[in-house]
Amino acid sequence: MKINEITKMSSPELEKELGELKTELFKLKFSLATNGLDNPMKIKSVKKDIARINTVLTERKIAEKKGEN
């Protein structure tokens, strides 16, 4: 997922996507431990997407707090 796509999404959509990605990451790790993966780099990709979403959410929270002060 590209950062441009993430920034266009609303905060509730990002929260939902974050939950889905965390579930996917769990399934990928479980699959890797049990029978291996066809593409182990998928785990790295999902982790980066999770980090991007967390970054955007944090930036929005910080901007919101600055707006209140």
The residue ranges of every structural domain in the chain are: 3-68
Q: What is the pLDDT of residue 67?
A: 85
pLDDT in tens, 9-61: 999 999 999 999 999 999 999 999 998 888 999 999 999 999 999 999 999 99
Q: What is the pLDDT of residue 47?
A: 97
Q: At what angle do helices 11-34 and 41-68 cross, to 10 degrees?
A: 150
What b/e readout covers 4-17, taking b as 16+ CB neighbours within 10 angstroms? Answer: eebeeeeeeebeeb
Q: What is the pLDDT of residue 69?
A: 66
Q: What is the pLDDT of residue 56?
A: 96
Name 5's Cβ contacts closer than 8 Å, sequence gap at least 6: none
The CATH code that applies to domain 3-68 is: 1.10.287.310
